[in-house]
Chain A
Amino acid sequence: MSSMELKLTVNGQKIKKTTQSHYRLLDFLREDLDLTGSKEGCGAGECGTCSVFINGKLVKSCLVPAAKAEGAKIETVEGIGNPEKMSEIQKAFCATGASQCGFCIPGMVMAATSTLRNNPKASLEQIKEEMGGNICRCTGYQKIFDAVEMARDVINKEKSEKVFEEYDKPANSFIGANVKRIDAPSKVTGRLKYAADMKMPNMLHMQVLRSDRPHAKILNIDLSKAKKIEGVRGIVTCDDVPGIDNFGVFIEDQPVLAKDKVRYVGEAIIAVAADTLEQAKDAVNAIKIKYKDLPALYDPEEALKEKILIHEHYKTNLVKHIPIRKGNTEEAFKKADVVIEDEFATQPVEHAYLEPMAGVSYIDQDGVLTIVSPSQNITHHRHMMAKIMNLPIHKVRFIMSPVGGGFGGKEDMIYQGMLALLATKTRQPIKYVMTREEDIVSTAKRHPSRTKYKMGLTKAGRILAAEISMLADGGAYGCSTEGVMRKAAILGAGPYNIENLKMDTRGVYTNNTPSGAFRSFGALQTEFATESMLDIAAEKLNMDPFEIRRINAFVKGNITHTKQELNSASINTVLNELEKLASWEKGSPQSRGNSRKDMFSKDNRDACELGARLKTNGNGKRVAR
């Protein structure tokens, strides 16, 4: 790789430094200057986590070649403020609780700074528009907007700086108090180090060769060229695993590196460690694999036919079936005044945590294999790793690095095994950071589902019986499918006292990207069906949707779908409070739409009028704005 000399000003300091010709400004800041407050969320200018100022203009530093910054004045989040001396915007982010995982926050602070520098009196709508290029996956943006408005008002002297310190100071108890969020200062200033920000002496960089086939037998792997590449220190395949080679949150069916065959596009096959990232990439590109494609399964209904098996040794594609049986649905349907049947479907969804998967592994001073990663379950990962590496459990150590968003996606031990193999093989620290594309293709998604539903009710709206059957695509590996099916089954019929229930949830293997843990874990899919069914029923029975829910709602002492007595059930209180909160106008859900009187309150945002929109011209014709 060729190098170049760069002269520029960063956060007021004159810098002259030799850097890599291929570096982007983001790489230069992070790798050469250790200014890791600017994060890489996507590497494609889509997420805004790498936002910096170049000569006063907000730009995404992942899109700028470092050479282009020659002679420029760069300002990063580290130049905006530090935990000891924060800017108004950073203080406001702390005060409103605008940082959650914190990974998007340095970029958000930069975008907010740009917004208020350009327009110190920006309205809420202008703030939203200016910050539209920065994605946050945790907060829902509301507290970020609150922070920018608060900072704006302080900067304009419309509010005193005291608003930054308006926390609850309770006389008797801190429980129930809005106290200062303790991790906020390190997040709003970019000081917190996530796994991708860490560096160790003699650290090697890992890259992974992944399958481009959905289902194929691996006939031959040729590593000869890759091994000859300068700087390559270790290459591992499934043959390097010393112990029992499988992992998974519920069912341990996934090898660290593909064994004999690949089951999905994106599955890891070979991992390489080299002195530099580029050398590791070159080595991966130099590996030759010979495959024999196998017939593949993409549809869960097809998977149930068992004509093709994804995991031959299981003799079935069914990962898990959870049945729940209560009462007698057939008899109950006969007594029902109304029986409704319908079908619902949900799509696979990506977690899109802003921090792509990353980790560092090394052998510590006691000879203990150590993995630092933003894992959501290091307890379980340690167990699995000890078995995989054939080590006593106390010879495996997991350290949690700050988690830049997880939502269930970081429960799978999808890359830590490779890090462990290479650290063990090379005895050098190993670092791995996924690109966004690599993360999307290789990690688990929310289970797509199809649900068949039959509900029988009395004229008064009481649910007499429900039969619910969900089929979910678990993808190539088990991950959390078993748990997701269980939760979908237990909760799916909703918070309603139903005496006759037949519930089945099934998750199956296919050659699709694996499905795994995702916030709301199966309950989202089945409860979506139930809540849609209740509105369909309410319309048929000419009932208010709150009323039909209250008639059926659990009360203390009721027996749940899994025959547990409830020691408490607040659903009626919740519904009553919600009805008041939303000033709900009673009525049956018969597409009342614009005739309602309870809409247009100030608790709505303004409809967005940006982008490609239509308007009606004077002749009543619809034209582009």
Chain B
Amino acid sequence: MSLTKKRGRGVAASWYGIARTAAMDQAGAWAEIDDGGSAKISTGVTEIGEGILTVLAQVAADELGVKPENVMIGENDTSRSPEAAHAGATRQTYMIGNAVALACRGARQKLFDVMAKEWKVDANTIKAHNGEIWSEGTNYKMEMSESIHICKKKYGVIPVAGENYTSHHTGLDPVDGSGRPWQAYVFGGQVAEVEVDTATGEVQLLGIWACHDVGKAINPKGVEGQIEGGVVQAVGQALMENYELEKGRTKSGSFAKYILPTSLDVPKVTSKIVEDPDPLSPLGAKGIGEPAMVPTSPAIMNAIYDAIGVRIKSLPATPEKILNALKEKKQNGSRKFN
């Protein structure tokens, strides 16, 4: 390796609150077990790319006993679907996931009550999973499609329910800030490994090791995707992006002038999910969207310090800043630039 290339590692930790901050948060959902053993879910969910529709399909399938691929999720329309508020604050899995779980439990109970009559068993013995419904300890078992047919045609019941999930938060005291801004918190930490070229000032982020508590992970691959994407947005924040203004006018008004991380800039990310389930909510899931990118920038700056002994306190750590800091360090003799 070239003499001017210096490697280093750094670590940073983080925490984050789940769902709307310092204000009551609520989300509603409707669920119906439909013909053919399928399910219909309606809720004001916003698929913003994180995979929330898949998460909700998993939750609904699990609660209703149908197959995930047989779950249909309706459009988000303020005149047609129940309110579930915004796609932000790392709240959708927590708020809407739990709302869908509760709505499904309501719908499921209606089907189970009917099947208890049909089979003359206690409703508590009835279970359903992956398109089948059965009574534990008996030989009663059938396809969900058949049981929904019986439920409708013989008993005149459509298994449908609506529910709401509330996360109880309070505002902050205006004087000392005390309050209960969230009921669920997540924690994370990342290690960064960088290579700094002391001749050009360029920093390359080569590896990130990311460990995040997300509560119960509903779709681990989706969680990984959020961590990888969050890390790379933080690479932009830490090393290259800057919306520059001069007297209120932007100097970075296009993608040609605003530098974003590309496939050649991104580190390999090794993720580890820690599951500390939320004790207060039905699913135990928490969230990952925003927390994923919090520890990355300080971990990178700590790694740069490890590599070359200069501390960048003003983001982003551009080549110019690195070279200036190295120059200053040299001028200050053996004293570290601090």
Contacts and interface: CB of A to CB of B under 8 A. Distances in A.
A binds B: yes
- Mostly, the A contact residues are loop
A22 interface: no
Contacts of A11: none
Bin the interface of chain A by size: 35 or more
A224 interface: no
A545 B10 contact: yes
B176 A179 contact: no
Contacts of B14: 494-495, 523, 527, 531
Contacts of A394: 79
Contacts of B13: 494-495, 531, 549, 553, 571, 574-575
A140 B236 CA distance: 11
Given A139-B225, A577-B211, A179 B315 contact: no
Interface string B220-235: 1110110111111110
Given A142-B268, A378-B44, A528-B297, A593 B248 contact: no
B51 A570 contact: no
Contacts of B49: 100-102, 138, 403-406
A145 interface: yes
Contacts of A400: 46, 75-77
A350 B241 contact: yes
Most interface-central of A215, A325, A346, A574 (chain B CB within 10 A): A574
B210 to A, nearest CB: 8
Nearest to B267: A605
A562 B50 contact: no
Given A377-B85, A604-B268, A562 B258 contact: no
Nearest to B11: A545
Contact of B314 (A344, A445, A512): A344
A26 B191 CA distance: 43
A589 B87 CA distance: 39
Interface stretch (B117-125, B148-156, B277-285): B277-285
A603 B189 contact: no
A398 B78 contact: yes
A129 B262 CA distance: 10
A33 interface: no
B275 to A, nearest CB: 9
B217 A176 contact: yes
Interface in B87-120: 87-89
A607 B309 CA distance: 20
A399 interface: yes
Interface in A516-535: 517, 519-521, 523-524, 527-528, 530-532, 534-535
Nearest to B46: A400
Interface in A326-374: 326, 342-350, 352, 368
B233 A605 contact: no
Contacts of A145: 263
Contacts of A563: 176, 178-179
A413 to B, nearest CB: 12
Contact of A215 (B227, B242, B248): B248
A441 B276 CA distance: 42
Interface in B1-58: 2-17, 21-22, 44, 46-51, 53-54, 57-58
A562 B179 contact: yes
Q: How large is the interface on B (under 10, 10 to 19, 20 to 34, 35 or more residues)?
A: 35 or more
A519 B233 contact: yes
B219 interface: yes
A408 B306 CA distance: 33
Given A264-B248, A399-B76, A400-B46, A531 B295 contact: yes
Contacts of A441: 250, 253
Nearest to B284: A175
Contacts of B262: 132-135, 141
A596 B11 CA distance: 14
Contacts of A437: 253-254
A584 B191 contact: yes
A487 B294 contact: no
B21 to A, nearest CB: 5
A610 interface: yes
A181 B293 contact: no
A436 B264 contact: no
A584 to B, nearest CB: 6
A220 B308 CA distance: 58
B83 interface: yes
A407 B181 CA distance: 21
B143 to A, nearest CB: 17
A622 B4 contact: yes
Interface in A531-556: 531-532, 534-536, 545-546, 549, 553-554
Interface in A151-207: 172-183
A503 interface: yes
Interface in B293-323: 293-295, 297-299, 301-302, 305-309, 311, 313-316
A378 B199 contact: no
B163 interface: no
B249 interface: yes
Contacts of A391: none
Contacts of B206: 604-607
A360 to B, nearest CB: 14
Given A178-B219, A520-B293, A600 B7 contact: yes
Interface stretch (A40-48, A237-245, A280-288): A40-48
A132 B264 contact: yes
B248 A614 contact: no
A559 B88 CA distance: 26
A523 B294 contact: yes
B129 interface: yes
A598 B315 CA distance: 27
A54 B58 CA distance: 41
Contact of A528 (B54, B73, B197, B315): B315
B158 interface: no
Given A46-B256, A494-B13, A593-B6, A517 B336 contact: no
Contacts of B68: 174, 179-180, 182
A546 B243 CA distance: 33
B290 A175 contact: no
Interface in A376-406: 376-380, 382, 394, 396-400, 402-406
Given A567-B183, A574-B188, A608-B204, 11 more contacts: A175-B216, A180-B69, A181-B51, A347-B315, A379-B44, A491-B16, A513-B248, A524-B237, A562-B172, A568-B278, A603-B207
6 contacts: A175-B216, A176-B216, A347-B241, A589-B305, A593-B6, A603-B207
Q: Which 7 A-B pairs have the closest CB atoms?
A: A214-B248, A101-B49, A324-B177, A531-B298, A140-B228, A100-B49, A377-B86
